Amino acid sequence: MPNFLSIYAGFLDYFSEISQGNSLFYNACLNASVHYAQSSSSYALLLGNPARLTARLARLAIASNRTNVLQAYLKTQNAVLDEEYYDSEALSDAELAYLLDHVAMEGSLIVVRPEASSDTALNLSVYQDVETLLEKEDGQKIQILSMSGVGSSAFGAAALARNVANAFDRPVVSVVAGYGVADVTKEALGGFYWYGAINRLEADIHRALTSGAPLLPLFQAVLDLYQPARTAIFAAGDSAQVRALLTSKGLQINLMVGHSKGNLVNAQALFDLKGQNNHDYPALIDRKLHVITISAAVAMPDDVPYVYDILGACDPLGALNSTPGITINQFVPAASHTTNRLLSDAIPVQAVLQALSPGFYP
């Protein structure tokens, strides 16, 4: 076993190589600078976002005469990043009001059906655990899981799930990543630092196992040093619920869709299940599991049969948090990290997935 100093030196060299060799990040920065220099309308939208979601939530809270005004206010303010990165226009007023009224903490589940036909339609439901979900829903019809990213609350989780549900015309179960702005710092550190580092290390370990690389002991030793923090982070609500959904006998999840940090949560759930050496992971693979990453291409276990990586051509954040060496399947021209249809540089998730649907996920 290498001593601590050699492990630390190897760890620094490893991440130095990643940061220096990430041409994906460099190209995304270059594309973004050119795009925004040429597009004053994009700048205006980014700098002068009309705050439609927060305005809608405030109006709904006042109109319904909610007794818990403070709770409604805090939820409204926490939705700032949901608005910046997710397509809240896909949710009806009735659905936003429902989410205002229901406690949807980190790890809560939202079942989202295809688009509501009017502002009074309600086509989603919140559950606190898989068991409660299966009491109310036909689990065999829920085959798609979506996971939103850093800074999102129930509103962002539901909006991404609605885009996915519309694209495939099927219900989607979404895991709430957090509380929005209130925990964005914790989510960013836990997501992009710990999850990202461990994802890259585990991907290299799995490659080393198949290639007999001499650095395998070094990578394994570094991963062992991370184990206490790794255990705490992976026990968090969102990660635990993803694993619970994937292993539930009442569900048949065969498609995972993630955005940003949500891809890291999905990937780590798969690595975790594979490492447990029980029947749950082989059963997933036998179901012909499909994975779609949006705005961060991260390593998945090598035996996941179908993986499709989507990245905005002007998305330095997504490129920086992608695992080096992964070939991007689709660059979305002039798109950044957002999926909010009101912004001209958004990835149009519904349209992109619909175009992908017939060949990749029938």
pLDDT tens for 270-309 read: 988 988 877 899 999 999 999 999 999 999 999 999 999 9
| Residue 53, number of CB atoms within 10 A of its CB | 26
The segments of the chain whose pLDDT lies below 50 read 1-21, 37, 39-48, 50, 67, 179-191, 193
Per-residue confidence (pLDDT) for residue 54, from 0 to 100: 67
**Total domain count, the chain:** 1
User: Which residue range forms the structural domain that includes residue 198?
Assistant: 4-360
Tokens of 54: 């927060």
Per-residue confidence (pLDDT) for residue 83, from 0 to 100: 79
Q: Which helix (H) or strand (E) holds 175?
A: strand 172-175
| Residue 46, number of CB atoms within 10 A of its CB | 16
CA-based nearest residue to 256, from 361, 137, 136? 361
What is the reported pTM? Answer: 0.78
Q: Which residues pair with 332 in a beta bridge?
A: 312
Q: Which residues pair with 124 in a beta bridge?
A: 112
Q: Which helix (H) or strand (E) holds 274?
A: helix 261-275
- DSSP secondary-structure letter at 64? T
Backbone angles phi, psi at 304, to 5 degrees: -65, 120
Per-residue confidence (pLDDT) for residue 296, from 0 to 100: 93
CA-based nearest residue to 142, from 177, 120, 188, 110? 110
